[in-house]
Amino acid sequence: MVLEQVEIVERNGLKVVVKRFSDIQGLKWIGLIPFKSFYPFTFSAAGRLEREYNFLTQPHSQIKTPKIYRVDWERKILERGYVEGVKLSDIDVLEAAEKLAKILASLHREGWCLGDPKPSNFIISNGQIYIIDCEQAVKTQNETYRIWDLVSSFFLLRLYKPLEAFKGDWRLQMFHIFSDNYLKAGGSSKLLEQYYKMLRDFLK
């Protein structure tokens, strides 16, 4: 069985990203089994490919998606356009929090949840933000899943900038910036209240 891997190839002068999904690589999600009551993670290669394809082929108002060139459902391979740019994980963490909050508010209004909103899954290219990895995305109105997006974003931002967490009131700044921009972009104040309660429980 082939391990999941992402390969960049050139075809007819264009860079193409070839992503291979495998059940073995899906084991990386097993650590999240205790959180399945908060989000419906899928571990199978077929399930993750289907979710990624469904999200990437739908229009979104505030986020761009790379073009899909080919999908091999039997071999579980997806080929898409390459996006040149800067990952959210490589910019200032507070700026990344602002942008991620706006993205999630927009997607939640559309009825989408990501499940894995880590900053490295987003690329800023020519002033637009693209999502390049969305294999846990689901279309749903479930509020618990949306709250999971918000809470996991907080911890994932900290994970990518761990040293920032020790600078003054950085954690509080990030919380306020994220919350304010989520609301400004049309996010639910009710969800933010529940997000705060869950975050407080996790940080106890």
Say whether both 95 and 185 belong to one domain. yes
Sign, Cα dihedral of 201, 162, 150, 40: negative
**Range of 189's domain?**
87-203
* Shared domain check, 151 and 91: yes
The reply to whether 132 and 186 lie within a common domain is: yes
Question: How many structural domains does the chain have?
Answer: 2
Could you tell me if 32 and 121 lie in one domain?
no
Q: Quick check: 7 and 17 in contact, CB under 8 A?
A: yes
Task: Give per-residue pLDDT as tens, 142-173.
Answer: 999 999 999 999 989 888 765 555 565 777 88
- pLDDT, residue 36, reads 82
Mean pLDDT of 9-21: 94
Q: Are residue 61 and residue 13 in the same domain, yes or no? A: yes
The predicted-structure confidence for 82-119, as pLDDT tens digits, reads as follows: 999 999 999 998 999 999 999 999 999 999 999 999 99
User: Are 156 and 110 members of one domain?
Assistant: yes
Residues 6 or more apart whose Cβ sits within 8 Å of residue 98:
177, 178, 181
CATH classification at residue 169:
1.10.510.10
The reply to whether 194 and 149 lie within a common domain is yes
Same domain, residue pair 112 and 183: yes
Distance CA 17, CA 55 (A): 17
- Residue 70, Cα to own-chain centre: how many angstroms? 22
Answer yes or no: do 76 and 106 share one domain. Answer: no
